[in-house]
Structure 1
Amino acid sequence: MDFKNYYQALGVERNASEEDIRKAYRKLARKYHPDVSKEPDADRRMREINEANDVLRDKEKRAAYDALADQVAHGRYAGAGSGDGFQPPPGWDQGFEFHRGPGQGPADHAEFSEFFSSLFGAAERRSAERRQYRARGEDHHAAIEIALEDALKGAEREITLRSQTLDEHGMPQWKTRTLSVKIPPGVHPGQYIRLAGQGMPGHGGEPPGDLYLEVRIAPHGLYRIDGRDLYMTLPVTPTEAALGAQVKVPTPGGGVVEVTVPRGARNGLKLRLKERGLPGQPPGHLYLLLEIALPPADTEVARKAYEQLAQAAPFAPRRHLGV
């Protein structure tokens, strides 16, 4: 296990202000969030910056981490720099108190590194035992991926989650559980489904926390989601685009409708099917993006037809370029 440089993970200096840390985290989260990032290591980097943010945004954790980093830098404890890797020295956290209370944010400690757990896991447990506080249980967060059809019509699905709990000796252990989740119609990416009482147990007789499931919708073969709206590429022939036509289109809820392609339609023209998107208040729309598909000139007949068209209807698409 290596010593982690949390400042380096967020790309900030050690004397960075709380505002600097907040801005750096938001910038990196936008870049590496698995829902939108195309980076190959997005999932790993997102866990790293979540962990670094969890420590550096908390004054007590940051102060303790800085003190330990100074010890590591100056080799002030036995084992520093040994071939066995980093291990926190006994009593390194003396004088500090750590507490992750309910509602502090979506980062899940179970997703953090062994380094984080070795520093703050036991320390937070001992702090809680010393205070014997009464507190509602911590909320947990997880992600659930559903099909577009589930978002359109609603569904009930079972999910399996892994979380870290404490055994009778106060040691962390992994627990697997299966939950039944009702997915309401019209749910959209980024929305949270709340499962009351499915978070961490409360302290001192207080109620447990809740479990918040962040909705992710799996990629679909035809439709792309933007908020409550859906987008679909609609191929049309050059003849349909030039002369106008009635074409059949599949709809997300099932079934087929006819839409009018206007005469002289251009590539990329957007047609709207009102309220054919995700249900809600208000419901979304289905947008059709026209894509002119050229017939291949792979036969003698097709080639002659293109030659006849070029002679019958001369066209200069690059005239505006001045060439």
Structure 2
Amino acid sequence: MQPRRRGVKALVAVAVCAVVAAAAIGVWKTGARDTPAAAAARSHDAASTPSSPTSAPDSSIENPPHLAGTSERLTTVVQRAAELLRVNGAAWGPQVATGTELSIGEALAQASSVPGDATIAEMEWLRQADRDGMYDDPNRPLDRLVQHLEATTITDADLVEHLGPNWPTIVDTFTTVAAIGFDDYVDRVRRSPPMRVADALDIRAQLQEAAAATGLREQWARSQDLVAAYFERCISESLSRRDPTDPMDEYIRDWPLAQALAHDAVAAAFFAEGAGADEDQVETLARGLQIVQAPERFDRDGSLTRTVQPGENLSPEDAELLDAEEPFLEEE
């Protein structure tokens, strides 16, 4: 099998597995305690809501939301979502909803007006729910989760605990990507000149080690999980509406690169202002997204690439799953 074809099959297999899993068991599982990867996977159910992440919203990337009051805005999102669930009824997932019922993810998406807020609010609520033991009981009633959502507040201190001291820059970077809309963002990546350094993944690994050395291992992981949750949701939604006549190779072209650039940018934001990391490395990682946003502002650099390492956007759990599926992919 040619390497390119193998890569396409691998990406499709991962994305389709995510869609099938969400459809089979619903986004809000009744299982035991959640891992960060499982929490990210639950973001899929918001893809069927009017707040679709694949289309460009009204807000402009040149005018991102002001970060002052971010925690208050996110608190409003979770509390509005709880109110929507009380009014419309709650369901474990969109696949089992009846009438006007909403899943928690759908309610969060409908309650948010700033692109990216639904994912941030969802991930922070999940962190607090896990902290408060909401997932210790595998037989917990759905209403118990709704009650917890209703009582949730998100403070600046919570965001520090979630994403680290540079959370404002992380949120700004993340919402900048979300504000473009998945389809438009991928289109910009496709039209962009080479923008990524060849050793971007190695630099990210070094920054991850620096985060761990400063006691921020979990915050680093959660900041990267935020990106993964958003792109998993976007990919699932985009695949669900693909015209079967569209060639799959072309349809998914540059999806991995688009996601990798967002991971790079959030990694750079984690060390904003050179806090505990090499400033040149941080600037190098941040530049990829900057080139996609405004390529006319940068001179062509022959050392830059469009390279993505196989599986680099996968969590360790998903990478292990893909390795297990590899013999089946090779046989096709």
TM-score over 0.5 (shorter chain) = no
Scaled to the shorter chain, the TM-score interval is: under 0.3
> Which structure would you say has the larger Rg?
1
More strand by share: 1
TM-score, length basis structure 2: 0.23
The answer to which structure, 1 or 2, has the higher relative contact order (CA under 8 A, 6+ apart) is 2
